[in-house]
Amino acid sequence: MTDPAFSFDVHAQPAEQVFNTVDSQPDGLSHEQVQLRHQQYGANRLTPAVGESPWVKFFRQFNNVLIYVLLVAATMSWLLGRWTDGTVIFAVVIINGIFGFLQEGKAEQALASIRSMLRVHTHVLRDGVRQQIDAEELTLGDVVLLESGDRVPADLRLFEGINLAVQESALTGESFSVQKQTDPVRVDAPLAERFCMLYAGTLVTQGRARGITVNIGDNTEIGKIGSMLRSVEPLTTPLMKQLGDLGTTLTKAILILTGLTFFFGWIWRAYPIDELFMAAVGLAVAAIPEGLPAVITITLAIGVQRMANHNAIIRRLPAVETLGSVSVICTDKTGTLTRNEMSAQSVQIHQGELAVSGVGYSPLGDITSAQKALNDTQQLTLQRLAVAAVLCNDARFDQKTIPWQLHGDPTEGALLILAAKAGLDPAAIQQSIPRLAEIPFESTHGYMATLHPSPEGSTQPYQLLLKGAPEKILQFCTQVWTPTGFLPLELTEWQQAIDHFAARGQRVLALAEAETSNPFISTAHQTQTTPDLTCYPFTLLGLVGIMDPPREEAHLAIMQCRQAGIHVIMVTGDHASTATAIGSQLGLNEPLTVITGSELEQMPAEELQAKAAHIDIVARATPTHKLKLVSALQADHHVVAMTGDGVNDAPALKRADIGVAMGKKGTEAAKEAAEMVLADDNFATLRTAVLEGRTVYDNLRKALVFLLPTNGGQALVMIAAILLGITLPITPVQILWVNMVSAITLSLPLVFDQAAPNLMQRSPRQSHEALLEPVLLFRIAFVSVLLMIATLVIYHWSMLHHADLARARTVAINCLVGAEMVYLISCRSLLNSTFSVRGWLDNGYALLAIFLLSLLQLALTYLPFMHLLFGTDGLDLQDWIMIVSSCLLLYLLMEVEKQLTPRFLFRSKKA
């Protein structure tokens, strides 16, 4: 679409000039103009993100160096005529790929929803006739008609507005609705201060409007953010980096060992070439943990399922683990830490300050003074103020459900809820007392005024009510209302109350009344845009402090994140003073370190990188600021989670190590950019997700520490046999059996282990920290050697006593599998003893796996057709006593090593 040059500064042009620039008129475009512009500028839609085809997603599952080696091993087996061996290896690879593909697709389906914020219907004027069209049919110059509740379908230059307010939090991060007006603003006005503009994706909360379409599709402010989003490349997760490095290292080591063993057997032991080739294949299959990709996928999938049960939807499997290594959470305020519902928190009347309990759009709550019930004087004054707040108000509530459903401006809705908590019925008051005249709110004069019949006992027939910014209202007031009479207005005392409310992050409104005999609202200067109400003797009723309150559970969640060593940074579009007050209530670090977006932007990259992790709040932040902050934290080696719900959050969500979008109030742009979506919009859910992420990582390490020695022990048996020039104690096809029935079967129960008791008291894992620390590498080597020695010794014992190769190999296989069974129990805690009832019995999956594998081994040992396929033979009681005794001895040695090695050779955290 052509990018019209006039679109950039229309906020600084008078509406008449904008009509001339876009070649339009107040009664809309003609049919011919619409057709021509559709051809020139295209449809009003955002360019969709380029998705992966199902085939690309499927083949991406095989992009792993270990899988490459397994495919080569399968091919070599086929070339040597070992069709069964090659087919088994290939089948394992394909099954793993299918499983990963299905899990990723299932996670994507969980987010199926409306794909565009612009797919709405809107009303336009064309040829002077009002029409309803699909928003995609809008074009430049169209005149759009909007009312309360409508979503703005494109970027519009406002030329007519009546009591108009717009919720722009999805774009700017501001909690409050913005009052709009038609006058141009300065050219360099920031987006949040362009009061004559309406932007695509924002919501009209009050009033009516007409605007000229000046930007559509990708040229809207939402579209520009979308373009920025497409240019941001997501990062590889720490787990994928570490597993990639591990796979590369394992592959190199396996290939080198296989090559050296092959040449040793050829040159020094004179093995036949075809036998050496199969021995090499057997060594590669024995050494490669082919079950590892499947175990990783299953572990992550189980993490996905657990998180889904806690309202956290994972879009990509590796994101589960990434949560466990998060060290910094950059969180949006509005709708994430706060409820995104305005609530009256405080009331100031002549008799003192009143506290209002209860949050959101629910009438449940109390109003108290110094934690005591109100006296009669306070109650009468409060009700007088509440009636004024209800009448000087355009909002309405649908009271069929709790919380009530708001229709109108959130700030005005908070005043209606305040009246309900004061014991009044807002709907009944609005119906019984008519509105005779009004002055709609405009930012130019900062207040709203309504005229009504006076209540009983008044000296004049009409009552004029006033609501607005306290600095404006106090100018008109000379006295204060009390039930017993009027008192002089002490301006200093009321200003202190205003400052006190503002310091707590509350937006302050003042309410006043005046009696008059005029049934019309008169102004001293009818030609002025701003009315003059100085001719009315206004009496101050009181002040109301309103804010978007923090979520009740957010404070506890932040405290738990801090205990887990996770630093929380609040990033918001609010003013610094408001953000600071909210941050203190949420329990962020004290004293708070607060900077503004402009300060962050001017900070050199090196300075920001050094200071980023010590920032607690970033106020007045734009999408660019959020992106720069995340990048600075990552440059300082932090693993960063970014939470948010707005379009403006999407680029930072995508750039972060893990983006976390809100499911209920989050925009589709945010959800598409995020790795995880919180279905309940609850920041506290993130704490549970971090716990699950850390549990997944712990369980993955357990699976690695289990798989690598079992494969290593098998490989060492093959190598030792070739080096010693003896008959292989286990044949390649028997190794395939062991891998097929034990490697995945026995490692899977580890992924069901519950979180360690101290898991959320540990510091976050560093992104550069090794997947396997030195003590675990020693364990892997130690157990590999133990398995090799046990297998060779029991094989040699059987040959000495029975001189039967098939029987000796059967004893060796059963000893190897039995040793893996007890090693499974030992791996349930990597550094703490499992020599207890809990260590053996509290994971039912482990006991089930041992039981099933025992049945399979009995089938391998005693069924005739298994003898034929795998070259095994039956055993007697003496053989089983030797096997069980060897396994128990190995278990004791493993547990002793677990206690001695960390104490004398390494320093390590307990897991």
Query: What's the rounded Cα separation, in Å, for the pair 287 and 280?
Result: 10
Q: How far apart are CA 46 and CA 647, in angstroms?
A: 12
Residue 126 to residue 129: CA distance in whole angstroms: 5
Half-sphere exposure of 383 (CA within 13 A, CB side): 13
User: Which phi and psi (to 5°) does residue 541 adopt?
Assistant: -95, -35
**Could you tell me what percentage of the chain is helix, strand and coil, using 3-state DSSP and rounding each to the nearest 5?**
50, 15, 30
Tell me the CA distances in angstroms from 206 to 149, 165, 193, 856, one per residue in order: 7, 5, 18, 71
- Short-list 324, 325, 279, CA closest to 306: 324
Q: Which residue carries 């709110």 as its tokens?
A: 441
Give the separation between CA 413 and CA 558, rounded to whole angstroms: 29
CB-neighbour burial class of residue 481 (10 A; exposed 0-12, middle 13-18, buried 19+): buried
Query: Given its phi and psi angles, is residue 352 left (phi above 0), alpha (psi -120 to 50 degrees) or beta?
Result: left
Query: Which residues does 905 contact at the CB level (< 8 Å), separation at least 6?
Result: 775, 778
Show the CA angle centred on residue 176, arms to residues 175 and 177, nearest 5°: 130
Tell me the C-alpha distance between 264 and 720, whole Å.
11
The answer to whether the beta carbons of residues 816 and 730 sit under 8 Å apart is: yes
Helix (H, G, I), strand (E, B) or coil at 144: strand
DSSP state at residue 269: S
Distance CA 235, CA 381 (A): 59
Out of 142, 332, 394, 574, the active site residue is 332
Q: Phi/psi of residue 319, each to 5°?
A: -65, -25
Which residues lie below 8 Å from residue 236, measured CB to CB, with a gap of 6+? Answer: 244
Examine the residue annotation and report whether 698 is marked as an active-site residue of this protein. no
- Tokens of residue 201, six digits: 């994706």
Measured CA to CA, the distance from residue 607 to residue 820 in angstroms comes to: 53
User: CB-based contacts of 674: which residues, under 8 Å, 6+ apart?
Assistant: 315, 653, 654, 658, 659, 660, 661
Residue 681 · residue 671 · CB < 8 Å: no
List alpha helices for 512-662, DSSP H.
Answer: 554-563, 576-586, 597-602, 605-611, 623-635, 650-655
User: 571: closest CA among 334, 232, 342?
Assistant: 334
Residues 6+ apart with CB under 8 A from 260: none
Find the helix packing angle between 291-309 and 65-79, rounded to 10°: 140
Closest CA to 122 of 108, 99, 105, 138: 138
In this structure, the chain runs to a length of: 911
Return d(Cα 98, Cα 813) in angstroms, integer: 30
Bridge partners, residue 143, by sequence:
125, 212
The Cβ of residue 493 has, within 10 Å, a number of other Cβ atoms equal to 11
Q: Where are the alpha helices (DSSP H) in 470-586?
A: 470-476, 491-503, 554-563, 576-586
Q: How far apart are the first and last CA of the chain?
A: 57
Q: Does the N-terminal peptide bond of residue 591 adopt cis geometry, omega within 30 degrees of 0?
A: yes
Q: Which of 324, 310, 300 is nearest to 107 (CA)?
A: 300
Q: What are φ and ψ of residue 87, in 5° steps?
A: -65, -40
For residue 362, what is the enclosing H or E element?
Answer: none
Which residues have a catalytic role annotated?
332
